Amino acid sequence: MIAGARHAQAILLFLVFAGVISAEALKKDELKAALADLTTNIESVDNAGFEKAGRVLINALSDTTESRLNYPADCLVWGYSPRMDVKPTDILVIAFMAGVTQERVYGDPKQALYRGWLNVAKYYQHYHADGTMEKLKAVEKLLRMEKAGALLAEAQKVQALHPELFDRIELDLSKHDLLNEHQWERCGTVSLPLPEGWSAVDKQYGQNTYTFLLTPKSGKKAEMTLVFLQHAMKSKDEIRDLTTRLERGLSTLLAYSDEKKITPLTLGMNRGVGLIGQLTGDALIDKPPLEVKHRVVWMAVGAPDAHCTMMGIMQMDSPDSPEAAEMMGIFTKAGFRRSAQSEVLEIEEVNGCYVLAVPVASLRLLIPRGELIEGLDNARNLRRSPRYFYFTDTRQGLQVSGWFESDKDYKGAKDFWKTENKGNRLNAREVSFEQSGPWDLIFYETALPEIQLNGKQAVKLTSTTMRAEYTAAGTWIDLHCSIIAPNTSRDSRATLRTFLQGVKVDGK
């Protein structure tokens, strides 16, 4: 292993170059010692001195107190970003160190500096965009070089001047689970800590489901299916919702198991909360819908993210087998990191409003909750568009749906309507265009078949629809509101206009 001081010099070389710290910081003996200690102890991931060195490092750079930051050693090795209250400049330091170290330990040491710079550029863009970090000229230079395709060459040029600073760090990998990272398209990163000899086959279904089939080196003694599911609505009670999902998942097999009821148990997760339930018995084998192959079935559910649920189905011959312990470790340590560029809609109820936002977009949509509830249509349509939403108010016959898109796709209400109602496929009548503040409005009616209510005289219903289009800050919000009622179109249109007055759009 190379000396810790060399790694310290590599980090300091970047930090000064990028303007994150000044050259005067090089005089801090405490900082130098902390950086050296981090590398000296890298092979002992659980070493308490490693964590202490990390805290000293951050304190030296940002004057934080030790109580504000419990710096885990695996942040450097695995590239995790701990969920803690730290300054953006702290995150830049962590991101750079994680990038450089990860390449030197597990990747290509020739790209160590490049990976570190990329990490810094990514986090800097996020924090600078939301106004929490001032402009850093050196990092802006990195961004310009990356845009021009010159950053890798520049990194290798700088690294070549100090090759000894970026030597490979050799670890005894048998001491660690290998972390497999999988990019979830337009969403984020799934991380799986696979024990030695385990393999994973992954598949994405649309943009809301990511599945993994995991098998051990022992072959047919065990099998694990891990599923990550995106959901727009943030849960108000995660334990209750996870319990419901767990009981629903196991209920189809309960009649074949030795257990008489499902008993959820709490799991200790690396992140978020988790529950697990167990069913056993030879009668489980080959039973649908899971087509069970073993006599012991564990189902676990977790919430690694406010808008992501993780489900694990673990099958084995014995709950005391080594494979059982390894599967439990995979589930409790698996993680999901949402990208700042995620295109998946997030919904949260705040102060009587549904707050809708897409991380990659700059705007939020606030819809008064009233008696609106999330429609069952959401899950199905999320497969088509991860930015789709749907609410319904059965008392008023009101439906509210729509999506977020890039404003480059919007050319005005009339052009939009030509495409939307091509060949009058909507059977629209009495079409009219209006303007309401920043909203472009399109109204139309659709005749519906007569129906009888409680054996009374047939009632003629009309669907009145308002399409409201909002564009700003690179974002296009389409709001589709409709009322089905026996009212006149004038009354229904007035109701929809009133509803729109309560809808707000603001920046994040």
Question: What confidence tens digit (pLDDT) does each residue in 265-315 have?
Answer: 999 887 788 999 999 999 999 888 778 899 999 999 999 988 999 999 999
According to CATH, where is 3.40.1000 located in the chain? 346-507
CA distance 353 to 477: 17
User: Tokens for 26?
Assistant: 């090089």
Q: Is 90 exceeded by the pLDDT of residue 62?
A: no
Q: Where in the chain is the domain with CATH 2.60.120.1690?
A: 177-338
pLDDT in the model for residue 90: 57
Q: Does residue 27 carry a pLDDT above 50?
A: no
Task: Copy the structure tokens of residue 499.
Answer: 């509803």
The pLDDT > 90 percentage for the chain reads: 39
Helix (H) or strand (E) holding 188: strand 188-194
| CATH code 3.40.1000 for 346-507 | yes
Answer yes or no: are the C-beta atoms of 322 and 294 closer than 8 Å: no
pLDDT tens digit sequence for 379-410: 444 445 788 899 999 888 899 999 999 999 89
9-18, 20-29, 59-68, 476-485: which is most confident:
476-485
Identify the CATH assignment for 177-338 out of 2.60.120.1690, 3.40.720.10, 2.40.170.20, 2.60.40.10.
2.60.120.1690
Whole-angstrom distance, CA of residue 96 vs CA of residue 146: 16
pLDDT tens digits, one per residue of 351-380: 999 999 998 888 999 999 999 998 765 444
Integer Cα distance of 227 and 266 in angstroms: 19
Higher pLDDT, 498 or 147: 498
Percentage of residues of the chain with pLDDT beyond 70: 71
Yes or no: say if 462 and 445 are a contact pair by the CB < 8 Å rule.
Answer: yes
